[in-house]
Structure 1
Amino acid sequence: MELRQLRYFLAVAECAHFTRAAEQLGMAQPPLSRQIQSLEREIGTALFIRASRGVRLTAAGELFKVRALQILADSAQAMSEVQSLARGVSGHLSIGFAGSIAFHPKVPRAIRSFRAAYPDVHLSSHENDSIQLVESVLSSRLDCAFVREPLDCGDLQRLALVSEELVLVVPTLHRLSREPIVDVAMLADEPFIMFPRAIGTHLYDYIIHSCQQAGFIPTIQMESPQVSSIVNMVAAGFGISLIPASMKFIQLPGVCFVPVRPILYSTVTFIYRRYERSALVLNLLKMLDQEN
């Protein structure tokens, strides 16, 4: 049974006449009659009662008409959904986010723009550290992700979105809180609060190396996997930290954010698989690239 046979059948059922149905379909009447006969043989029963002035549906034909209409409607719907998915205007997109990235205004702004442009795409977000996000994208557990560099992204493609400064965060009453800018060397005797090296090896090493370049090895007082938790620990007086400048948007009481010299950078980067074919990912990539 073919979809075209269902269309032929419905045309005859609507016109109640083979010749008029053939004219409506733009074909000759004999081939149309043969197609209907072939359909009836395949089903095993007559669908029409034939008379000299036209045809009418049998009881089986009436039931088959209902089912044929539904089959064609489902077929059209399936084709529309597949075409939408192929164009990247519908479907599901799983996106990973490194924790602190949500605080940079460029990332949520880009996601809002994408949702507005593709309202039928379902987005799911997954928060993790950058190293885990790289592994998830490589293994296809996630479609793409926003991470922080410096970072080893393996064989993934990268689109650098924005480089933001790292700033010093200190308690409000700290001796450095009122400085317009702080030399990294001035932090030599301060207890540091850091994220564990295992969740951000390259960024961790970058901060440690910057301190070594300034003439000291930092004392790691505490560790926390979440940058927001680090800021809370600083507010409680456990130490100081160097964090992305966008974290200033959380406006937590009890802390001050101070620029440092030399300027240290962390880059927000969009990662996706090499030779990516998903139109969903490529549409998001195109939008990010245009806004970059």
Structure 2
Amino acid sequence: MIWASGFQRTKRMVRLTAAGAIFLDEARRVVAQAERAEEAARRAGRGELGHIEIGYVASTAFADVLQTQIRTYRAACPDVQVNCREIVMERLPAMLDEGQIDIAFLRPPIGYPPRNPVGDAPARPFRCRPPRGTCAGVA
């Protein structure tokens, strides 16, 4: 509830009071912030904002697989924070399955949880799974 008059009225005109002008400025800021929040939510839903957690084995870094994929991803999705960490290969599939990481770069042969897609990293698109967000269509 507003305890000040926002308008000064006469028979010929209506004018904002000082309190009304301040209220109008603040209301415009609120609407603009709501629009920015809505757009940020849309971008996050499309995977253009947020962060991804990547787990990898050392050999992927030595073979330049990891660097190439991350460079491509960052060029396409500059507003997504990418966090990489080297992890013992045997732990990667379970961490992926439990949602502790979004992407795993590892060397076969190793058992994969059934819910996670598996493919050759250089030949497959670099994708993450929701809800953390991805930049869709990055190859």
| 1:131 matched residue in structure 2 | 90
2:135 pairs with 1:287: no
Contact 1:89 1:121 survives alignment (8 Å) = yes
Contact 2:53 2:102 survives alignment (8 Å) = yes
What displacement does 1:51 show? 2.1
Distance 1:69 1:57, change over 3 A: same
| 1:277 matched residue in structure 2 | 130
What displacement does 1:141 show? 1.6
Deviations 1:162-188 (A, max 9, x none): 69xxxxxxxxxxxxxxxxxxxxxxxxx
| 1:90 matched residue in structure 2 | 49
What displacement does 1:137 show? 1.6
| 1:47 matched residue in structure 2 | 6
RMSD: 2.9
Q: Decide which of 112, 120, 125 is 2:71's aligned counterpart.
A: 112
Contact 2:48 2:80 survives alignment (8 Å) = yes
What does 1:49-68 align with in structure 2 at a 5 Å threshold? 49-68=8-27
- How far, CA to CA, are the matches of 1:64 and 1:107 in structure 2? 52
- How far, CA to CA, are the matches of 1:119 and 1:66 in structure 2? 33
- SS of the residue corresponding to residue 131 of structure 1 reads helix
Counterpart code for 1:75: A
Higher normalized helix content (fraction of residues): 1
Q: Decide which of 97, 101, 105 is 2:60's aligned counterpart.
A: 101
2:67 pairs with 1:147: no
Contact 1:156 1:271 survives alignment (8 Å) = no
- SS of the residue corresponding to residue 14 of structure 2 reads strand
Contact 1:161 1:270 survives alignment (8 Å) = no
What does 1:204-243 align with in structure 2 at a 5 Å threshold? none
What displacement does 1:78 show? 0.6
| 1:72 matched residue in structure 2 | 31
Contact 1:158 1:271 survives alignment (8 Å) = no
Deviations 1:61-107 (A, max 9, x none): 12212211221121111111111111111111111111211112333
What does 1:120-199 align with in structure 2 at a 5 Å threshold? 120-161=79-120
Distance 1:80 1:271, change over 3 A: closer
Higher normalized strand content (fraction of residues): 1
Contact 2:127 2:135 survives alignment (8 Å) = no
- How far, CA to CA, are the matches of 1:150 and 1:51 in structure 2? 83
Give the TM-score taking structure 2 as reference length. Answer: 0.82
| 1:20 matched residue in structure 2 | none
Give the TM-score taking structure 1 as reference length. Answer: 0.42
Unaligned runs of 5+ in 1: 1-41, 164-268
Counterpart code for 1:99: A
Unaligned runs of 5+ in 2: none
